[in-house]
A and B are shown apart, each in its own frame.
Chain A
Amino acid sequence: MSLQIDLHYERNMLIVRLSGELDHHTAELVKERMEEALTRPTVTHVILSLEHLHFMDSSGLGVILGRYKQVVAKGGRMVVCSVSPAVYRLFEMSGLFKILTIEENERRAVSSLEVVS
C-alpha cells in the first residue's frame, strides 16, 4: 500500500497521520477510515498531520474537504498541520487554505484545539 494511515485518539481529538502518497487510489481508504473514526462519540475535533505525505493531487483536496465538512457538521474543528510547500500550493490554488486552519506542527495543532474545547 502506498499510503499509511495512522489513527490516534487523544481526549476529544482524532489525530490522523498520513504517510506516503494520497491520490485517487488511496483517497477512498482515507475516507473510509476517517468516516468510521468520526462516528465515535468521543471524537469532536480532527488533526490531520501531513508531515510524511510525499505526494498529493486533487483527490487529496476532495477527501480533505469532505472530512472537513463532516467534522464541522458534528460541531468540531479540523486543523491541518506539517504541510509541505507542494501541498500548500494546492491548498492555495483551490482556496482550501482559506477555510482550513493550518498549524506548523502537531503540538501547535493540539494546543490550538485545547483553547477552543
Chain B
Amino acid sequence: MSNNFMKLEFASRSENESFARVAVASFVSQLDPTLNELTDIKTVISEAVTNAIIHGYDGNPDGIVTITCEIEDETVHISVEDNGRGISDLEQARQPLYTTKPELERSGMGFTIMENFMDRLEVETEPGRGTSIRMTKRIETKKALYN
C-alpha cells in the first residue's frame, strides 16, 4: 500500500501563508500530534512559504508555491518548492542571522528555525531555477503514551 499524501499549489501571495499553515496542520492531525508539534509544523511551513514568496519570487504574486506532504508511519515528510531565483551560496544562507533582505526587516532566522523544529532539513536549489526544501519530523503520537 502506498503512503498517504497530499499536494497543494497556490499563488505566491502573502495572504496564502496562513492558509498553507492551516492546511498542512490539519493534514498532519491524523497522526494525533501534540499541540507543540503542530505549532512547530505551522511555524516551519510559514518560514518556507514566506521564503519562497519574498526571496524566491521577490514579492512577485504570479509565482507558484507547491507543498507536498507525505505520511510514512509516524513520520511526516514535507516539501516546499518554488521556481524562483534559487540560492547561490547555500552554506551562507543557512547561517543564523544571515539575510539578503535586511531592508525588509528580515531577521535571518528562517533556516535556523526550520532546522531546530524539524528532525531533518535538506535544501535543493539552483540559481535561476528555484528551491526545494525537504523536511522530516517524527510525530510522537499521543496514543503511544497509553500503550
Contacts and interface: CB of A to CB of B under 8 A. Distances in A.
A24 B113 contact: no
B29 interface: no
Interface stretch (B14-22, B75-83, B118-126, B127-135): B14-22
Interface stretch (B41-49, B64-72, B87-95): B41-49
Nearest to B14: A25
Interface in B21-43: 21, 36, 39, 42-43
B107 interface: yes
A7 interface: no
Main secondary structure of the interface of B (DSSP, over half): helix
B50 A93 contact: no
A23 B39 CA distance: 13
A65 B97 CA distance: 12
Interface stretch (A9-17, A55-63, A107-115): A55-63
Contact of A24 (B17, B42, B97): B17
Contacts of A94: 96-97, 107, 109, 112
Contacts of B39: 55, 86
A31 B105 contact: yes
Interface string A30-62: 010000000000000000000000010111011
A93 B50 CA distance: 19
A90 B46 CA distance: 14
Interface of A: 2, 21, 23-25, 27, 31, 55, 57-59, 61-63, 65-66, 86, 90, 93-95
7 closest residue pairs by CB, A with B: A25-B14, A62-B105, A57-B46, A61-B107, A58-B109, A24-B50, A66-B105
Interface of B: 14-15, 17-18, 21, 36, 39, 42-43, 46-47, 50, 53-54, 96-97, 104-107, 109-110, 112-113, 116
